[in-house]
Amino acid sequence: MTKSIGILTAGGDSPGLNAAIRAVGKAAMNNYGMRVIGFRQGFRGLMQNRTIVLDASALSGILTIGGTILGTSRDKPHKMPVGDQIMDMTDAMVETYNLHHLDALVCLGGGGTAKNAYRLMEKGLNILTLPKTIDNDVFGTDVTFGYDTALTIAAEAIDRLHSTAHSHHRIIVVEIMGHNTGWLALGAGIAGGADAILIPEIPYDVEIVAEAILHRSRAGKPFSIVAVSEGALSKEAANKRGQLEKQIVEAKNKKEKKKAKAALAEFEANEMESTSKLTVKLEELTGLESRVTILGHVQRGGTPSPADRLLATRLGTACAQYINDGVFGVMVAACGDGTQAVPLEQVVGKRKTVPLNHPWINTARALHVCMGDD
Ligand code: F6P
């Protein structure tokens, strides 16, 4: 009997999503004779039964296109905004799955998507996920697709900032995405030759960064590039954050928990300005004119790199094979040159941060790049 599969993309978009959709779809159709449909705008489209037929013509010509032809959203099955209410719509999604007599649902996304997909798995659906995000922070996979493209964009931006920083004898602080992990800032910072790299895993001391910049200046280099991850925190802010998180864990009742969560949200909102504040402080401490560049969503847009197309394609084709073999409840992870079906239980609720003894950190330190801590 013909098998039917559904595909959705959820969370922030990422270069390589279309390559993955194409790979899953083509391999499923051509090798196993499966029927493939897509759901629009992530879990919302699954809830609303908004579909798109992914036949040969729909999958043609999308390999090199950025974004996702299916659209995406950050909506969660159990906390779905419906009208002016937030509702658990998991059962509606199960209904759509059954309506289409699906044999499997493939969810392309990061850590949050894995968590949401796991909820559907607990309702009995045959789920597989593919790890995408520019942040490279999904636990259980060597790498995520989207990362290489964003890394290239951020490194190129640093290259460009170098010449203008040099011409004006300025400090340029460049903010790089990555959520609460430093993979992007660290990778792009090393590849782009940044003089200081600040990542969430290593809380920084602004005076140490300023001293490193002054040291360069005294050595005849009166300009510096500081690559800072959007989630990087000063030592004081990291302490404060730790305390707020502890208050959430130790809250004795719902009311206390809500209050503690609100305090953390307020802290995070204030921290959104932290790169600009850091830039002002560095100018004050060094006497060097300073500017800030926030790369933002430009890092997520445009054509996926060949490495991301390759990764998304090999994960996608492996996914179709896992479906045919009846392997469900897994993330199709990159493992060396191959793939591995990692049970979703081992993935959800975890995040892959940069280990403090990671070779890239040692590499940066070996080049005397200031990491903000010594
Ligand atoms: O997870 C990818 C990512 O780009 C993060 O690096 C960033 O923190 C976040 O998404 C931005 O989300 P949004 O596009 O919803 O503003």
User: Do 231 and 139 fall into the same domain?
Assistant: no
User: Do 204 and 273 fall into the same domain?
Assistant: yes
User: Per this entry, what is the length of the chain?
Assistant: 374
What pLDDT, on the 0 to 100 scale, is given for residue 374? 82
Full DSSP string of 203-216: -B-HHHHHHHHHHH
Largest CA distance in the chain: 74
For ligand 1, atom 10, which residue shows the shortest CA distance?
12
Q: Around 196, how many Cα atoms within 13 Å sit in the side-chain half-sphere?
A: 34
Whichever domain contains 73, its CATH number is: 3.40.50.450
Which residues are the active-site residues?
135
User: Do 218 and 80 fall into the same domain?
Assistant: no
What pLDDT, on the 0 to 100 scale, is given for residue 53? 96
Is-above-0.85 flag for pTM? Answer: yes
User: Do 312 and 287 fall into the same domain?
Assistant: no
Distance 1 CA to ligand 1 centre (A): 41
User: Do 231 and 141 fall into the same domain?
Assistant: no
What pLDDT, on the 0 to 100 scale, is given for residue 303? 98
- Ligand 1 atom at minimal distance to the Cα of residue 137: 1
- Pocket of ligand 1 contains residue 293 by CB under 6 Å: no
Q: Which two tokens stand for residue 261?
A: 């969560």
Residue ranges, the chain, pLDDT below 50 = none
User: Do 287 and 313 fall into the same domain?
Assistant: no
For ligand 1, atom 5, which residue shows the shortest CA distance?
179
User: Do 15 and 51 fall into the same domain?
Assistant: yes
User: Do 126 and 29 fall into the same domain?
Assistant: yes
User: How large is the C-alpha radius of gyration of the chain?
Assistant: 22
- Pocket of ligand 1 contains residue 38 by CB under 6 Å: no
How far is it, in rounded angstroms, from Cα 32 to Cα 74? 31
What pLDDT, on the 0 to 100 scale, is given for residue 1? 82
Q: Which two tokens stand for residue 219?
A: 């050595």
Among 14, 177, 180, 294, the mutation site with the greatest number of ligand 1 atoms within 8 A of its Cβ is: 177
The number of distinct structural domains making up the chain is 2
Residue 228's domain spans which residues? Answer: 151-300
